[in-house]
Amino acid sequence: MAQTIVGHPFQTLKVRLQTQPSPPRYRNGWDCFKITVKEEGWRGLYKGITPPLLGIGLVNAVLFYAYETSKRSLLFMINKRPDGDPEVWEAALCGSFAGIANSVVSCPVELIMVRLQTQYVTSPDKQLYAGPIDCARQLVQQFGVRGLYKGFAATVIREIPNYMLFFGMYENLKMVVARTTKQRRSELSPPALFLCGGFAGVSAQLAQLPFDRVKNYIQIQSDTNPTYKGVIHCFERVLQKEGHLGFYKGVGPVLLRAFPANAACFLGFEMSVKILNAF
């Protein structure tokens, strides 16, 4: 919960920079911050926080459960101890499975979040949604439950490389630190785990940013008159209009949020596993 409260303003700035209309309304992250606070107050930075605030526990639970389950199954199948340390490729493969499972929960949470975050920008004269419940209600009313899964394919395409790198890099960094300090990976100190998680998170966030921008475009586009036919069409349009750098809009807020949020997330996970294994 603390991770969401601290990181959400950066998430709002990132989404607004990624999805702003042409010509752009914001020059950079600082400009977006100033305009948002000036026009909407500090509360503007926290638009759309309710879905991730309520869903972060479930999202992380599904993610790490799927990762641990697939890791133990894979290690068992290749005749290794299920509770042993995975190789980098094993962690990356299990991370991809975890990413697919996580998409089932993260897609509706993020859909509602980005629509609330951007409605002031996309429709300044008209408030489309009174809040997260109203947003979910309208989507289900118009399209059924599948309305909550708009952009699901784009979410899966983002989550697979994201969590392949997230878990693969994390285990790789733990391996390097363990060799340097002549320890087992399971013996690493909390500060070491914190740093490994932070750097793994930054790497994963940078890698998934192009896919994230496409996902956000697809999720906020008009339901009745969509601009993009699908993921590939959206990629082509962004590349054609803005070049390769267009996929990295919002990178500043992403980097500011990525290290502390992911470091805390991994440290919390490792500490929880150690506590549970003690019983």
pLDDT score recorded for residue 103: 97
CA 60, 65, 66, 68 torsion-angle sign: positive
Judged against a pLDDT cut of 90, whether residue 53 lies above it is answered with no
Query: What confidence tens digit (pLDDT) does each residue in 201-231 have?
Result: 999 999 999 999 999 999 999 888 899 999 9
- What is the pLDDT confidence band of residue 126, given thresholds at 50, 70 and 90? low
**pTM, entire model:** 0.85
Judged against a pLDDT cut of 80, whether residue 12 lies above it is answered with yes
- What is the pLDDT confidence band of residue 56, given thresholds at 50, 70 and 90? confident
What distances in angstroms separate CA 227 from CA 91, 126, 222, one per listed residue?
Answer: 37, 20, 7
The Cα–Cα gap between 17 and 251 comes to 9
Mean pLDDT of 239-243: 91
CA nearest neighbour of 231 among 215, 247, 207: 215
According to the 3-state scheme, what is the secondary structure of 24-67?
CCCCCHHHHHHHHHHHHCHHHHHCCCHHHHHHHHHHHHHHHHHH
Judged against a pLDDT cut of 90, whether residue 148 lies above it is answered with yes
- CA torsion 207-199-159-100 (nearest 10°) is 150
Query: Residues for the chain: how many in total?
Result: 279
Mean per-residue pLDDT of the chain:
89
pLDDT score recorded for residue 4: 76
274: left (phi over 0), alpha (psi -120 to 50) or beta: alpha
- What is the pLDDT confidence band of residue 178, given thresholds at 50, 70 and 90? very high
Domains of the chain: 2-274 (1.50.40.10)
Residues 6 or more apart whose CB falls under 8 angstroms from that of 201 comprise 166, 258, 259, 261, 262, 263, 265, 266
- What is the pLDDT confidence band of residue 121, given thresholds at 50, 70 and 90? low
Mean pLDDT of 259-270: 88
